[in-house]
Structure formats: structure tokens, C-alpha cells
Amino acid sequence: MSKNTHSFQAEVAQLLHLVTHSLYSNKEIFLRELISNASDACDKLRFEALDNAALYEDAPNLEVRVAFDKKARTLSITDNGIGLSQQEAIDHLGTIAKSGTREFMSRLSGDQKADAQLIGQFGVGFYSGFIVADRIVVESRRAGLPADQGVRWSSTGTGDFEVETITRDKRGTSVILHLREDADEFLNGWKLKQVISKYSDHISLPILMEKEEWKEGEDDKGGEMVATGEWEPVNKASALWTRAKKDVTEEQYVEFYKSISHDYEAPLAWSHNRVEGSTEYTQLLYIPAKAPMDLWNRDHKGGLKLYVKRVFIMDEAEALLPSYLRFVKGVIDSADLPLNVSRELLQESRDVKAIREGSTKRVLSMLEDLAKKAVAAAAPAAESPAADGVTDVVDKKEGEQADADAAKASEDAGKYAKFYAEFGSVLKEGLGEDFANRDRIAKLLRFASTTSDAATVSLADYKARMKDGQEAIYYITADTLAAAKNSPQLEVFKKKGIEVLLMTDRVDEWALSYLTEFDGTPLQSVAKGAVDLGKLQDETEKKAAEEAAEAFKPVLEKLKASLKDKAEDVRVTTRLVDSPACLVVQEHGMSTQLARMLKQAGQKAPEVKPVLEVNAEHPLVKKLERDEAHFDDLANILFDQALLAEGGLPEDPAAYVRRVNALLV
């Protein structure tokens, strides 16, 4: 039979170089990856066989077998799942993940821990076999193909791989690892069983290994363990989510998450529940600690694994959770859905709607619990009262337990901040997508403010700190935190000590358009409409502002004429203290920032003509009254500087520079 040699995709060659130089800090993880792939292959066969039972051929019982040969120094992982055709072997084993390869390789940093996480996220765990093997052979036949259309794929993990046609009676795949000299530990049955128990105990099909027994050597000279030829399961072979919670350890929950998410970091939280009622299903949902690299990619697929009566149906069932929770990982096992359910049917099913609503509420409850723990940890600890001035001697064990409890509380406290840093922007999408849960989502949001650069301020926190007479929650949106903090629109608020929320995520302005009030208090952008501080502005200030506006009226009319193509209106403002001018939009108008973002994203955006507000007391503005010769130049400079201050660019930067230079000389 002829062999064909193929070159690896360039990114795979680079990846293999990293893997073979001990990219994974924990060698034994390769076995978890290969067993997980074998289990997936069996799940795919089970699903395809729903419409074509002949694919089972003469072997309806699905399983994974792990075997080793000390003399040949090989370790084999064999499944009787869907298998590979020759073209599939070339496509799947010579290319990373089908998509996202360029982004994947651009993220590689040389940091072993970070790169290992990336490998998992991009679904390239097969290549982890090269951690322990200097040669890998894959023999496979796709279910439904004749025996003479099997395929053998082999590679030493360098620049190319070989493919040839073979005869293989049994469907499925065998991955045969030719182990390196430093991988002898994986030629030991006890070690392999230990690793399988640790990482793959949750796999729902049996993982089989040959039984071994001790055989004495000749003349009582030592002995060895030898295979008996009888196969036995070495895992519990029951889907983890089907077990009672009391029978699953924390470590097992974490390892199950890692296996379904290909993440190398433990999740922040999880929830395991059996839901009964008109719709019956089991849910096991996880909040990851780290966002996937393609979370914002339009082609990113999110969603949960869907099972029906323990039969795998599909990965990434997007209909089971709303888009703003696309970061959640886990499993839904329904007792009511039909086995032949399709993605189209999922969109229309009443049962799916009930599962979606129940799972959404469960995820929000997990987030609320994390947020409560963060608040509790931040509260000052109550001091223990001393009895009659005598200091109690604390038992050593109690002290150690107190330290452990404090460490756990500290860890829990940081979890919500960690979650929010990774997924806060996505969560905000829920304000516009999930009307039923909008209030719950609003309570989970966190922002920076003029009192805190970190995104730790909740709307409830803000409201609790509002000044007497303050009638609105004030916020500002900007491209960066620095732009928000230094915006001219904040000057009067800083002067009066009024806190303003600083919002710098791209999604903020869109999301806030769906949240007009919180707990009965309206939200007000400081960059929209005329500033109205209500009871916080005394009558003297209001009267002075009105008189200034009246006295400045002739200059305002000239400014409106000079800037008619740029500004919708020009008016005197009370929001400025130190700056000469700023730009705002009308109360319900689109901000210039949002319009810029839409254009950058290639979307249509209406032309936004902002309102120019001027500080009548500023020397530069007063100069307008005295310098007729340079009035137009000064007017345009005022406008362009206000635009620059909010992160925009003048329409004609060269003209702006000329005007400034002319005035300077």
C-alpha cells in the first residue's frame, strides 16, 4: 500500500515544537485529552445512529480501551466510536481546530501555563500526546465504510505526517503512542488507573483495561504483573451529572468542568440540580474563571452540551441560554425532548423555553451568591468583646480553623471581581436582551466612578451614597477611563462633590439605553441634555447662570452662525468650571462616541451634530467678545478642542493646527 506524505499546517508545526518542549506542566493531562476525544467519538456515533442504526455494525456497546505494551513501549487508547475517513484524518489531524488558527498562534507567548490554557480552549488536545511520545500512530475506520477503507496516520511530531490506506475490521479509532524514554511511568497499570480515576471517572461509557495478576519469576527471582486477557472497567462509567450531589466530590466537579471546557483553570462556581415539574431535566452549570479568546468573535459558538435521557445530542446548544450568558459551560440532560431534536426544533420547543428560563435564573443566582460573598468580605469584621478585660486564650485548632475560614472568605471575595473583569461587558448585554431579568442584571453590574478607579461600585452602592436632594444617578461614557475621569462635563459635579459613574466599555451606552432607572431613581448621562442639578443647585447659582446667558446672547448668535455646519446649537453652560467648552447631545440623542464606534464597526450611523456648551467666564471665551478679526478661528478652535477632549478628532486636523498656530504667533 502506498504512503502519502503531507506537511503540517504551519501553525501545527509551531505548536508541536512547543508541546515537545514540555509545554504542559503536568504530563499526565495527555491521557485525559485522548480519553475525552475517544468519548466524544462515541457520542458522535450514538447521535448519527439515531437516523442510521446500521452504523453500530455488530458492536452496539460503546467503550474505550486503554492498553500498554512494555516491550514495544507503546500506550494505546482505542474507541469504537464514529471513526475517521482518510480525508478526515488529513483534515483533523493536520490542522488546528478548523478555525481561529491565526488568532491562536498569535496568542502564544512562551508562557507555559498561559499557552497550555490556549491549547485547551482551541480544541487541539490531540497534540498533547507528543508530550510523552516521540511518534504517534492513529489507525481508524469510519462507521459505515467497508473494512478496506481504513486509514493509518503517523507522525514524529516534526514537519510532516504520513497517511496510508489499511484494512481495519472494527470501526473506531486507535491512538498508539510510542513513548519517550522519560515516560516509563505510563507503562504501569496502577499509574494509568490512578490517572483515569483522577481525570476521567465521569466519562459515561466504560473505560476498560486488562486485569493484571502477579507472576513469580523463575527460581523465585522476582516477578512481575502480567495481563490476564480479561478486561474490566476502571471508571464509574456513569455520567457525573446523573449522580447525587452528595456522591460527587469538589475535585470531580472541577475535573469534569476541565474536560468539557478544555480549560486548565478551575471554575469560579457551579450549580448541579435536578429540576422536576412540567419539564424535567438535570442541569450542571459552570461559571469559568477566564474568558475564551474568541468570546467577542462573531463566529464564536457558545452554549451547553445537550443530552436527552443521557444520549448525547449536540455540543454548543445555543438555545439553552441567552446570548449574554454565552460564557457559561455545562450540561443539560432532558427527560422530555425527542432524541431527533434539531437546532431548528430547539428554537420552537416549549420545553426548551422552560429549560432556558430555568437555567438563566440559576446562573444569575450563582452570580448573586458570588456578589454577596464579595460584599460580606468587604464589610468590617465585628470585634469580639473581651470578658472583664481578660484576654481569652484561643485554642490552637480554633485559631487554625479561623485562619482557614478567613483564607476561604478572602478567596470567595475575589471571585466576583475576577468574574466581572472577564465577563462584565457580556453581562451588560442582558439589559437589552432579557427584559424579564433586567432588574437582577442591573444589581450585578459594577462600575468605576469619580471615587473609585476600579469597577467595584454597584448601582445600589451609588444610590446609598447620593447627596440629600440628589434626584438622579449620574454617569458618563467614554472610550477610556482617563478620558472619562478628565472629561470637562464632570467639572461642576467634582466641584459639588457629586459622584459620577465612569463607563468605558463599548457596550455601555447601548446597554444603558435599556436601563432608564434603578430602584425608582432615574439614570442621567452628564453628557446629554442641559445640566440640571435640581435641589443641589441653589437659587443664586441659577440666577447668575441665567444672567450670564442673557448677557452673552449676541456672542452666542455669532457662534451659532460660525459653527452652523458642526454644531446643532450653542449655549452657555453651568457644568464647566475650568474648561472653556464641551460637547453634549440632546437628551435622547445618540452620543458622538457611539456614532464613532458604529462607523468603526462598519455599521450605519446617523450624522450626529452635537451641542457646543461654552463657559462664559473662561478667558478664551471672553476673548470672542473682543477679537472680531479671529472670531471664526477661535470659534472653530473651541469646537475642535471640545471634540478632542471627549476622544474625537477634528474633521480637518490640518485646519485646526493652522488656526492654533496662527493665534500662537
Task: Specify binding-site residues for ATP.
Answer: 33, 37, 79, 98-100, 121-126, 173, 343
> What burial class does residue 497 get, using C-beta atoms within 10 Å of its C-beta: 0-12 exposed, 13-18 middle, 19+ buried?
exposed
Q: Point out which residues pair with 225 in neighbouring strands.
A: 214
Which cell numbers in the block locate residue 114?
498561559
Q: Taking Cα atoms as reference points, which of 361, 320, 332, 358 lies closest to residue 444? A: 361
What is the SS3 assignment for 289?
coil
Q: Do 78 and 172 meet the contact criterion of CB atoms below 8 Å apart?
A: yes
Q: What residues form DSSP beta bridges with 6?
A: 161
Query: What is the rounded CA–CA span in Å between residue 511 and residue 71?
Result: 64
3-class secondary structure per residue, 92-125: HHCCCCCCCHHHHHHHCCCCHHHHHHHHHHCCCH
Contact 368, 440 (CB under 8 A): yes
Q: Chain centroid to CA 183: how far?
A: 35
Q: Are 634 and 573 in contact (CB under 8 A)?
A: no
Q: Edge-to-edge strands of the sheet including 611-614?
A: 569-572, 611-614, 581-584
Kindly give, in sequence order, each residue whose CB lies less than 8 Å from that of residue 371, ignoring residues fewer than 6 positions away.
Answer: 416, 443, 444, 458
| CA 593 centroid distance within chain | 25
Question: All 3 cell numbers of residue 174?
Answer: 486507535
Helix/strand/coil (H/E/C) assignment for every residue in 535-574? HHCCHHHHHHHHHHHHHCHHHHHHHHHHCCCCCCEEEECC
Q: What residue numbers does the annotated binding site cover?
A: 33, 37, 79, 98-100, 121-126, 173, 343
Strand order in the sheet with 452-457: 452-457, 447-449, 501-503, 473-477, 521-525, 517-518
Spatial separation of the C-alpha atoms in residues 60 and 71, rounded to whole Å:
33
Q: Return the DSSP state at 126.
A: G
Query: Rounded to an integer, what distance in angstroms lies between the CA atom of residue 363 and that of residue 437?
Result: 11
C-alpha–C-alpha distance, residues 281 and 298, integer Å: 30
C-alpha dihedral (184, 187, 188, 191), degrees to nearest 10: 70
The pairing of beta strand 517-518 with beta strand 521-525 = antiparallel
The residues, any chain, with a CB within 8 Å of residue 134's CB and separated by 6 or more, are 156, 157, 178, 179, 180
Local structure of 219: helix, strand or coil:
helix
Burial class (CB in 10 A: 0-12, 13-18, 19+), 201: buried
DSSP states of 501-537: EEE-STTHHHHHTT--EETTEEEEETTBSS---GGGS
What are residue 459's phi and psi, to 5 degrees? Answer: -65, -35
Pairing between β-strand 64-69 and β-strand 150-155 as defined by DSSP bridges: unpaired
DSSP label at 156?
-
